Every structure is written in C-alpha cells, then in structure tokens.
Amino acid sequence: MEENKYLIKPDSKVAAFRSKNKVDIIYSSLIIPNELIDIARNKKYTVRTFGCQANERDGEIISGILEKIGYSKANSLEESDVIILNTCAIRENANERVFGEIGHLRVLKRNNPDLVFALCGCMAQQETTISKILSTNNQVDLIFGTHNISNLPDLLYQAYLSKEKIVQVYSKEGEVYEDLPSVRDSKTKAWVNIMYGCDKFCTYCVVPYTRGKERSRLKEDIIKEVNELVREGYQEITLLGQNVNAYGNDLNLGYNFEDLLKEVAKTNIPRIRFTTSHPWNFTKGMIEAIRDYPNIMPYVHLPLQSGDDEILKRMGRRYTFKEYLELYNLIRSTIPNVAITTDIIVGFPNESDEAFENTMKIVDECKYDGAYTFIFSPRPGTPAYLMKDEISSQTKSKRLERLIEATKKYAKLRNVEQEGKILKVLVDGPSKRNPDILSGYSEENKLVNFKGNPNSIGKIVKVKILKGKAFTLEGVQVDE
Ligand code: 5AD
Ligand code: SF4
C-alpha cells in the first residue's frame, strides 16, 4: 500500500541516523497550487515563533512563503485566517508554553471555523508531541516538520480540502534549500543561515534529532545573500548555525568557517556576528580573524554547559574544563574589549555538589559578560533522558539561584568596566521602558540605553557610557 503523504509522523530512530551521503542542494523548489492562490486572496496570516535564531529565520521563510501565496500579515490573532505556531523543543517549559498557547487558540477557532491552525518547528519533530496533539487537540489542522517547510503550499491546500488533520513530518538528514522567499523581521539586522543541523549529539540535546545532520550552504550562495543585504542597506548580519565552527566540514572543499568569516568580512556589511560556536573546533585563526577585521564584532558566545570534567564527559562535550579555559583565555587576550557570554546547565543527572562547585569555580574565573542558565530538562529520545538522577529539584533550584547570582555579579562588573568608554551602538529604536530614550546594541553585544538623536534609528552612532548595570549600559550619544 502506498504511504499516505499527509500522515507522516516523526521517527526518532530514523532522525538519529547519520550517513556519509552527499547533501542535495535544492534551488527554486516552491510549487503553489493555483486553487490555493484563489483561497488566499484577502486572507491574513500570523506566524508566532518560539526559541532560537534558527527558528526565527524559519519563521521569516514561512512568512515569505505565505506572502508569495497571497496572504498578507495580520495585525492580530483575531483577524488571522491562518495561524502558524513555530515551536521549540529544547526544554520542557518551551513545550508547555506552546501547549498553553494551543489551548488559548481554541476560542479563535470557535469564532472562525475556517481558520487554519498549524504547528511546525522542533516540537513537531517529536513523537510525543504528535501523539498528544492527535489524541487531544482537535483545533490543530496541520502539523509540518523542519524538513517540510518548502511543502507548505501543498500542505496548506490539503488542510483546506481535508477534514482530517494533515501531518507531514519527515525524519531525515535533510537537504539545503535555496531561493525560498522570506520576509525579514528587521530592516537593519538580518539572520543568514550558513549551515543546518548538528552532529555533536551532546547527550542532553534534542537538536540533532529535530534538525538533521550538519549540512553547509555553498559559500557562493551565502556571499550572494550577504551582498543583497548590503545593497538593501542592512547594517548587521548574524551567521547562523547550531555549531558554526563545523561550517564546510561536510562539503570537503578545504574551505572552513575561518575562510568564510574573512570572505564575508570583505563585503561591505558594517557588522558581522555569528552564533553558536562549540568550544570544540574553535580555531586560533577564527580568533585572529575576529581581531583583524573591524566589521567582525568582538563578541563570542561560548557555551560552557558544565565546569566539571566528569559531567562534561557524560554530556558528550568533547573538552575538559582546562581546554575550555585555555580557549577562553586566548579569546580574551587576543581580541581587545571582547565580550564573552555562555550557556550553563545545572542539575544534569546525578550532578554532585562537588561537580556543581567546579562549575562555580569556572564562573568565578571567567567572569562572563553574561550567561544563560538552565536547569537540565530531560528530553525524550536523548541519552540523558535515561540517566539515573537522584538530585532533588529543590537542590537544583538552589544551585540555579546561586549560579544566577554569581553570573549577574560578574556581568555587572564587566559592564562597569565600560564606564567612560565610547562604544559604537546600532540603534534599534526607542527603549522599551522610556520612549525618550534610545536603545541598541554595542559592538560587544551589550544593550545600551541612551539619550540621543531620534534620527539615529537604524544607524551606528557613538555613545559615551555613563553607567554599567547587570543587564544594560546607560549612556549619552556623542556624535549627534
Ligand atoms: N536541558 C536544559 N538546557 C538545555 N540546553 C540544551 N538542551 C537542554 C536541556 N535538555 C541549553 C544548552 C544550550 C542552550 C541553547 O540550551 O545550554 O547551549
Ligand atoms: Fe545541542 Fe550540542 Fe548540537 Fe549545541 S552542539 S545544538 S548543545 S547537540
């Protein structure tokens, strides 16, 4: 019997598989049924994105596809004819938020029975999500996976035709899609994918299962995209990958992330950022490129996860705390005024008091500019999910509290160091709290609130820093 292509559920065993097969690069893949173009006329959409930058970029592409079909962006959920939740599965609370949201949307569906309600992103790649939704959440019409985005027009059309839920979630290593339309969220800052997927298989992480194998875009396609952004007047790009240092490995062209960084720096884009870098494979050449090219920003996000060698080993992180510190110190000593932030997980299964203290020691030594801290969340399908854990949730919460306190203290210390300096700030707009104050990010990726000229929005200006706080800097523009 032929497989029903509108009822394909994820399979984590298949998703965990890695081959040496060459990755297909697919250009101009979008096919839009004419009937759907008629349906979409005068209809509106909302895409709501959760999670990381890779998801944000997917959200922009999903919006681009919907606008290409003919939908226009809605101003509210109530006036939407299509609502797409683009979800994240990294921790359980991300999942819970999405299920909460699905619950809220029930009433919209009641008021507008023609509403098409879809769910995509990393949660869609999980068997547990699909079975829960298929058994309980009747208001969801369509579920599609991270590998199925280019099929969205067909899937959406089927959702209009069918009374059944449409589910299409491939579990596979994945391709590279070029030329999909997109609507970017910002006119000044842009995400640029350089690679997809992850092959590191850290034992706590779902990403390798939800996003397929590491596969790089061709440098020609990346540079073409960056040049277009320069022409459109963009001020900043962020090169995106789950682990950008692995860029090019799969292509076997002898061209790596350091080469790409330098080539991108030679375009006239004023600011280049990149995220995320695994400490493993972070080369001296990359660090020197950041130092040598003024348009590569002096900011590195360098996830530590744990400062204890036994935990690092069980996490599958491929470095020791000593190796991490060596790299950290090399970055600090090579790049002037560099800012370094990190990710740390507490409460990994059976993390002892001693292991946690080892993490605190590294935090005391590194004095990070900022840290994202999490309590370990067991993800179904990952090796750490099955690890025995006898540490109470109370102990974990206490550890997190201590860690947050320490990282806040050091972030403030680093920010106080900026007092008196003149930093270059790309102005986003009025600050959230006070419309008379402008807000933007410095080259070091520090959020700066300052008194300045409202005509500076979208531009890079000089700001004298007057005060460093734990999460922000305050200052005054000096080049109006
Ligand atoms: N539990 C808690 N935190 C996690 N992260 C990834 N997976 C988990 C998990 N299962 C954190 C890591 C990673 C960041 C993006 O999220 O610190 O760097
Ligand atoms: Fe997850 Fe590790 Fe890959 Fe990062 S490097 S996405 S933490 S598996």
pLDDT digits (tens, 9 = 90+) for 160-205: 999 899 999 999 999 999 999 999 999 999 999 999 999 999 999 9
Same domain, 426 and 406: no
Query: 283 and 349 in one domain?
Result: yes
Confirm or reject: Cβ of 243 under 6 Å from ligand 2.
yes
pLDDT of residue 137: 65
Identify the pLDDT of residue 380: 93
Nearest ligand atom owner, CA of 243: 2
Measured distance CA(97)–CA(90) in Å, rounded: 12
Select from 204, 324, 373 the residue to mutate for testing ligand 1; criterion: most ligand atoms less than 8 Å from CB.
204
pLDDT at 110: 86
Q: Which of 443, 352, 432 is nearest to 399 (CA)?
A: 352
Asked if 244 and 152 sit in the same domain, the reply is: no
Q: Indicate if ligand 2 lies below 6 Å from the C-beta of 242.
A: yes
Share of the chain above pLDDT 90, in %: 91
Q: Are residues 275 and 326 in the same domain?
A: yes
Residue nearest to atom 2 of ligand 1 (CA): 376
- For 289-342, write each residue's pLDDT tens digit: 999 999 999 999 999 999 999 999 999 999 999 999 999 999 999 999 999 999
Per DSSP, the three-state class of 83 is strand
DSSP structure class, residue 218: P
Per-residue pLDDT at 480 exceeds 80: no
Question: Cβ(451)–Cβ(480) under 8 Å?
Answer: no
Instruction: Decide if 187 is inside a domain.
Output: no
Is residue 258 within 8 A of residue 210, CB to CB? The reply is no
pLDDT for the residue 2: 65
Q: Are residues 152 and 226 in the same domain?
A: no
Q: Which domain holds residue 129?
A: 7-168
- Burial class (CB within 10 angstroms; exposed 0-12, middle 13-18, buried 19+) of 262: middle
Pick from 95, 345, 348 the residue to mutate for probing ligand 1's pocket: most ligand atoms within 8 Å of its CB. 345
- Close Cβ partners of 69 (under 8 Å, ≥ 6 residues apart): 32, 36, 37, 40, 153, 156
Residue 169 has a pLDDT of 97
**Pocket of ligand 1, beta carbon within 6 A:** 90-91, 204-205, 303, 305, 343, 345, 374, 376-377, 379
Cis peptide before 276 (omega within 30 of 0): yes
Residue 1 pLDDT greater than 70, yes or no: no
Q: Whose CA is nearest to atom 17 of ligand 1?
A: 343
Nearest ligand (C-alpha, residue 342): 1
Residue with tokens 């370990």: 376
pLDDT tier at 149 (50, 70, 90 boundaries)?
very high
Q: For ligand 2, what atom is nearest to the CA of residue 305?
A: 7
Q: What is the pLDDT of residue 473?
A: 98
Radius of gyration of the chain (CA): 23
**Shared-domain flag, residues 381 and 436:** no
Which residue's alpha carbon is nearest to atom 5 within ligand 2? 200
Same domain, 401 and 268: yes
Of 415, 432, 467, the domain-final residue:
415
Q: Looking at the structure, do residues 356 and 426 belong to the same domain, yes or no? A: no
Tell me what the mean pLDDT of segment 101-121 comes to.
91
How remote is the CA of residue 374 from the centroid of ligand 1, in Å?
7
- Whether residue 80 is predicted with pLDDT greater than 70 in this model: the reply is yes
Count of domains observed in the chain: 3
**Would you say residue 401 lies in a domain?**
yes
pLDDT tens-place string over residues 291-303: 999 999 999 999 9
For residues 404 and 454, membership in a common domain is answered with no
Q: For 364-394, write each residue's pLDDT tens digit.
A: 999 999 999 999 999 999 999 999 999 999 9
pLDDT tens digits, residue range 228-285? Answer: 999 999 999 999 999 999 999 999 999 999 999 999 999 999 999 999 999 998 999 9
pTM for this entry: 0.96
181 within some domain:
no
Burial class of residue 471 (count of CB atoms within 10 Å of its CB; 0-12, 13-18, 19+): exposed
CB of residue 208 inside a 6 A radius of ligand 2: yes
Q: Does 428 score more than 60 pLDDT?
A: yes
Name which residue sits closest to atom 4 of ligand 2, judged by CA.
242
Q: Which of 362, 395, 415 is the last residue of a domain?
A: 415
Asked if residue 175 is part of any domain, the answer here is no
Task: Please check whether residues 151 and 215 belong to one and the same domain.
Answer: no
Q: What is the mean pLDDT of the chain?
A: 96
Interval between CA 219 and ligand 1 midpoint (Å): 29
CA angle 209–140–74, rounded 5-degree value? 100
CA separation for the pair 62, 33 (Å, rounded):
16
- Ligand 2 atom nearest to 198, measured from its CA: 3
Report phi then psi at 96, rounded to 5.
-60, -40
Cα of 320 vs centre of ligand 1, distance in Å, is 18
